[in-house]
C-alpha cells in the first residue's frame, strides 16, 4: 500500500511538474510573441519618424526661371511704383489736422516698405542672371525709354519718401493771379475769385 501511495504522490508531483512546465512554456511563448510585436511596432515607428526628419535632397535649381516668372515680378514692381506715386500724391496734400498728419506719417512707412519690396524683386531678377529691358519714365526728357535693368538699378537713386510736412506748390503772382494782404495774412486770388469749371 505504501508503494501505491508513493506511486500516486509521484504521479501527482510529476503531473504537477509537467503541467507547470507546459504552462510556463505557453506563458513564455506568449510573452515572447508580445515582446516581438512591441519591438517591431516601435522599430517601425522610429524608422518612420527618422524618415520624416531626414532632409530630402533638394531638387536641382532650374537654370533659367520661366519668363512668366520674370514678367510677373516686373509687373509687380510696376504696380508697386504706381502705388508709391499715389502715396506721394496723398502725402503732398496739405495737412488738415493732427490726425491727417499721423496718416501722412503712416504713408511714409508704407512708401519705404514698398520701395524695399520693389528693389528686392528687381535685384532677384539680376541675381538669377537675367537683364531684361525695362521701360522707365525719364523726367528730364519727359518721355518713356527702355533701358537694361542692370543699368536702371546702377543709375537709380531711390526716390526719397514724401515727408509729412510736405507743403503744396506755392502760388505766386502772375497772369490771372493777384496777391491780397488782409489782416496780416496773405491770400492769392485766382481768376478774380470766380469759380471755374474744367
Q: Which of 17-31, 94-108, 184-198 has the lowest mean pLDDT?
A: 184-198
Binned at pLDDT 50, 70 and 90, residue 54 comes out as low
Same domain, 49 and 72: no
Same domain, 50 and 79: no
Which of 40-49, 113-122, 134-143 has maximum average pLDDT? 113-122
Same domain, 50 and 72: no
Binned at pLDDT 50, 70 and 90, residue 196 comes out as very low
What's the pTM value of the predicted model, to 2 decimals?
0.46
More confident residue, 132 or 55: 132
Confirm if 159 and 142 have CB atoms less than 8 A apart.
no
pLDDT at 35 over 60: yes
- Rounded percentage of the chain residues whose pLDDT exceeds 70: 68
CA dihedral 158→162→168→170, nearest 10 degrees, is -50
Grouping H, G, I as helix, E, B as strand and the rest as coil, residue 174 is strand
pLDDT at 132 over 80: yes
- The pLDDT tens digits for 81-126 are 888 888 888 877 777 776 766 777 778 888 888 888 988 888 888 8
- The pLDDT tens digits for 144-186 are 888 888 888 887 655 555 554 444 444 455 555 666 666 666 6
Reading the block at residue 195, the C-alpha cell is: 469759380
Domain total in the chain:
2
Has residue 198 been placed in a domain?
A: no
Same domain, 116 and 37: no
Q: Rounded to whole angstroms, how far apart are CA atoms 136 and 145?
A: 6
Which residues have a Cβ under 8 Å from the Cβ of 147 and sit 6 or more positions away? 133, 134, 136
Domain, as residue range, for 155: 67-167
pLDDT in the model for residue 152: 81
CB contact burial 89-112 (16+ within 10 A = b; e otherwise)? eebeeebeeeeeeebbeebbeebe
Same domain, 90 and 31: no
Same domain, 40 and 101: no
Amino acid at each position: 500500500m505504501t508503494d501505491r501511495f508513493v506511486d500516486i504522490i509521484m504521479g501527482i508531483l510529476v503531473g504537477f511538474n509537467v503541467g507547470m512546465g507546459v504552462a510556463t512554456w505557453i506563458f513564455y511563448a506568449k510573452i515572447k510573441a508580445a515582446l516581438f510585436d512591441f519591438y517591431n511596432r516601435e522599430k517601425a515607428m522610429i524608422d518612420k519618424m527618422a524618415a520624416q526628419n531626414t532632409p530630402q535632397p533638394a531638387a536641382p535649381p532650374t537654370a533659367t526661371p520661366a519668363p512668366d516668372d520674370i514678367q510677373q515680378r516686373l509687373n509687380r514692381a510696376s504696380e508697386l511704383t504706381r502705388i508709391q506715386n499715389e502715396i506721394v500724391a496723398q502725402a503732398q496734400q496739405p495737412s488738415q489736422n493732427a490726425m491727417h498728419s499721423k496718416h501722412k506719417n503712416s504713408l511714409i512707412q508704407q512708401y519705404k516698405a514698398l520701395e524695399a519690396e520693389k528693389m528686392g524683386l528687381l535685384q532677384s531678377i539680376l541675381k538669377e542672371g537675367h537683364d531684361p529691358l525695362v521701360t522707365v519714365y525719364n523726367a528730364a526728357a519727359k518721355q518713356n525709354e527702355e533701358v537694361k535693368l542692370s543699368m536702371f538699378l546702377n543709375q537709380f537713386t531711390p526716390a526719397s519718401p514724401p515727408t509729412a510736412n510736405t507743403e503744396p506748390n506755392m502760388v505766386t503772382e502772375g497772369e490771372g493771379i493777384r496777391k491780397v494782404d488782409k489782416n496780416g495774412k496773405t491770400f492769392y486770388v485766382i481768376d478774380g475769385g470766380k469759380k471755374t469749371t474744367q
